[in-house]
């Protein structure tokens, strides 16, 4: 590929005239070359290709497209500027230059956490987000090539379902590990050493240092940043992942004969949450923990004492919203009690906060919440939980309905809000108030079929051309499963109460 062709903007540049298929093709081609150079250990070539991508028109256009079409497109930084017109987007592409670039401080907001504490979120300006998206295009191929095999958080084509399946493979069966180290890093994003990142992250060091030292503004006061990578930055999850990558290798080097000695050591990580399995509590506590602590200390990180513990699998391990536990030797992965409670509390808040809303509008608010939660847990042993949630939601809706008509009897309330459809007598349904009126029903989570999730292959790299056919086939399989879930046609092995099935790594 000619460098001049990639770097120069086309004549008559206009946002509407950009050929996005060609833009993506050029970026993918450069990313594939970065992967190949990384695999060959040609670090100078990697650096040259990254420079080429970050100075290309295609890379800049794709970066601007990402930040102007994602969920935060209407959220501004400290400069209160958003790019919401074609001309603004076009000018933004031209403005993405390394020379003279100086990021502005982040606008900090506090997000409440489920434990009552708050999590800081840094909001960069649109230009800073676009620059991060641009350099991420060049960094992600390296990150995916060098990543730990069993890391699943914030990575393309990977999900919590893959992490859940990896846990199943590590723990299911009579001869598998029975002790689990549940680890959680204390303030991971806020405490990563800047010096370590600048020394080890393979990206432009000058630009990276500017991002890390940009500071943040909170309540009109400027604060410096001495450590950490801001939660909210587009490139931050990859920086955090690359900081933690290498833990699998560190454990393998510390215990080279783990398989022969039947130590049953496996690690599964999702972002900064991870578990490590072992054959005994003493071995995990006295041998594995020091390796993990030393690995994290080099990066300025520590384990959270309140969240890190060693648990026997018969007592149950909570991970990613699931409870993994063996019942009479059989591993079942179910939605955790804390996750169920949080879900029901969210539904309850919506219902209580909309006491005077029309029924059809309440259904529109609830259905996405119910559907999203059910889809998250659909590959686990969740059928019984879905039925329990449906009962609790019905109870909330009955209270909502009777409160609105305190002078009416129960039969009248039922006939107004709950319909008979087929064999069901308590369907919460209403008609849309628009031309061609259509009935809308509240989604029942128990109608969500339990669907097997096939774990991604550990070495699969979406930026490597040799895996292209694999990902095309995987996407086709997802689409096929999606269509089956819509028409209700599922093979027998996907029906009923089942967990994630064992598949080859």
Q: Phi and psi at residue 45, in whole multiples of 5°?
A: -65, -40
Look at residue 199 in the predicted model and tell me its pLDDT: 96
434 Cβ partners below 8 Å, 6+ apart?
Answer: none
37: three-class secondary structure by DSSP = helix
Neighbours of 378 (CB within 10 A): 20
Distance CA(454)–CA(431), nearest Å, equals 39
Q: Would you list the DSSP string of 270-295?
A: ETTEEEEEES-HHHIIIIIHHHHHHH
d(CA 173, CA 190): 39
Pairing of strands 317-319, 418-421: unpaired
Provide the greatest CA pair distance for the chain. Answer: 79
CB 259 within 8 A of CB 142: no
Q: Which residue has the tokens 């499963």?
A: 481
Determine the length of the chain. 505
Structure tokens at 157: 């084509």
Work out whether the CA dihedral 107, 234, 47, 30 comes out positive or negative. Answer: negative
Q: What is the pLDDT of residue 92?
A: 96
Burial 485-499 (b: 16+ CB within 10 A, else e): beeeebeeebeeebb
What are the backbone dihedrals phi and psi of residue 311, each rounded to the nearest 5 degrees, phi first? -130, 145
Distance CA 165, CA 268 (A): 10
CA neighbor of 125 nearest in space, from 85, 73, 89: 73
**For 290, what's the count of Cα atoms within 13 Å in the CB-facing half-sphere?**
6
Query: In the block, which residue shows the tokens 């933690």?
Result: 244
pLDDT in tens, the chain (505 residues): 444 444 455 555 789 999 999 999 999 999 999 999 999 999 999 999 999 999 999 999 999 999 999 988 999 999 999 999 999 999 999 999 999 999 999 998 888 876 677 888 889 999 999 999 999 999 999 999 999 999 999 999 999 999 999 999 999 989 999 999 999 999 888 899 999 999 999 999 999 999 999 999 998 899 898 888 877 789 999 999 999 999 999 999 999 998 888 999 999 999 999 999 999 999 999 999 999 999 999 999 999 988 899 999 999 999 999 999 999 999 999 999 999 999 999 999 999 999 999 999 999 999 999 999 999 999 999 999 999 999 999 999 999 999 999 999 999 999 999 999 988 999 999 988 777 678 999 999 999 999 989 999 999 999 999 999 999 999 888 777 665 554 443 333 222 333 333 332 3
The number of beta carbons lying within 10 Å of the beta carbon of residue 44 is 8
Burial (Cβ within 10 Å: 0-12, 13-18, ≥19) of residue 348: middle
pLDDT at 477: 83
Q: Are strands 216-218 and 106-112 parallel, antiparallel or unpaired?
A: parallel
Other beta carbons within 10 Å of 502: 12
Confidence (pLDDT) at 136: 97
**Other Cβ atoms within 10 Å of 60 Cβ, number:** 26
Strands of 63-200, DSSP E: 106-112, 118-123, 179-184
What phi-psi label fits residue 500: left (phi over 0), alpha (psi between -120 and 50 degrees) or beta?
Answer: beta
CA 316 to CA 312: how far, in whole Å? Answer: 7
Per-residue model confidence (pLDDT) at position 128: 96
**Residues with Cβ within 8 Å of residue 386, at least 6 apart in sequence:** 374, 377, 444, 445, 446, 448
Structure tokens at 259: 């398989």
Pull the structure tokens for residue 155: 């990575």
pLDDT of residue 121: 85
Token pair, residue 191, equals 């405490």
Strand partners, 184: 273
Three-state DSSP string of 142-164: HHHHHCCCCECCCCCCCCHHHHH
Pairing of strands 216-218, 221-223: antiparallel
């Amino acid at each position: 590929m000619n460098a001049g062709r990639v770097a120069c903007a086309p004549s008559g540049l206009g946002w509407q005239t950009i050929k996005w298929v060609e833009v993506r093709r050029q970026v993918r081609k450069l990313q594939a070359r970065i992967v190949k150079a990384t695999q060959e250990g040609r670090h100078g070539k990697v650096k040259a290709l990254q420079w080429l991508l970050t100075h290309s028109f295609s890379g800049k256009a794709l970066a601007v497209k990402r930040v102007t079409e994602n969920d935060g497109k209407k959220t501004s930084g400290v400069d209160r500027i958003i790019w919401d017109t074609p001309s603004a987007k076009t000018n933004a592409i031209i403005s993405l230059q390394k020379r003279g670039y100086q990021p502005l401080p982040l606008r900090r907001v506090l997000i409440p956490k489920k434990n009552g504490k708050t999590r800081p979120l840094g909001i960069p300006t649109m230009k800073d987000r676009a620059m991060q998206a641009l350099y991420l295009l060049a960094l992600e191929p390296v990150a995916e090539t060098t990543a730990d095999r069993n890391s699943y958080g914030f990575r393309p084509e990977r999900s919590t379902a893959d992490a859940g399946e990896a846990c199943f493979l590590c723990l299911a069966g009579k001869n598998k590990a029975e002790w689990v180290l549940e680890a959680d890093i204390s303030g991971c994003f806020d405490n990563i050493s800047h010096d370590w990142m600048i020394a080890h992250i393979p990206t432009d060091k000058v630009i990276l240092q500017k991002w890390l030292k940009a500071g943040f503004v909170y309540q009109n006061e400027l604060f410096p940043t001495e450590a950490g990578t801001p939660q909210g930055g587009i490139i931050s999850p990859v920086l955090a992942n690359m900081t933690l990558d290498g833990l699998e290798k560190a454990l393998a080097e510390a215990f080279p004969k783990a398989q022969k000695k039947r130590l049953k050591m496996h690690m599964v990580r999702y972002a900064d949450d991870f578990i490590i399995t072992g054959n005994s509590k003493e071995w995990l506590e006295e041998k594995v923990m020091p390796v993990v602590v030393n690995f994290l200390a080099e990066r300025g990180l520590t384990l959270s004492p309140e969240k890190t513990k060693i648990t026997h699998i018969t007592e149950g391990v909570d991970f990613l919203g699931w409870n993994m536990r063996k019942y009479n030797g059989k591993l079942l992965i179910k939605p955790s009690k804390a996750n169920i409670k949080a879900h029901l509390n969210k539904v309850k808040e919506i219902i209580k906060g909309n006491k005077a809303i029309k029924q059809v509008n309440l259904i529109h608010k609830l259905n996405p919440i119910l559907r999203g939660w059910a889809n998250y847990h659909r590959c686990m042993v969740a059928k019984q939980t879905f039925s329990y949630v449906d009962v609790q939601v019905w109870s909330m809706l009955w209270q909502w309905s009777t409160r609105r008509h305190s002078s009416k009897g129960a039969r009248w309330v039922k006939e107004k809000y709950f319909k008979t459809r087929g064999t069901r007598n308590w369907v919460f349904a209403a008609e849309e108030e628009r031309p061609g009126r259509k009935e809308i029903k509240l989604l029942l989570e128990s109608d969500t079929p339990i669907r097997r999730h096939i774990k991604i292959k550990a070495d699969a790299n979406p930026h490597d051309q040799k895996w292209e056919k694999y990902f095309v086939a995987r996407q086709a399989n997802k689409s096929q499963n999606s269509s089956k879930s819509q028409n209700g046609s599922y093979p027998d092995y996907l029906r009923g109460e089942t967990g994630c099935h064992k598949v080859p790594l």
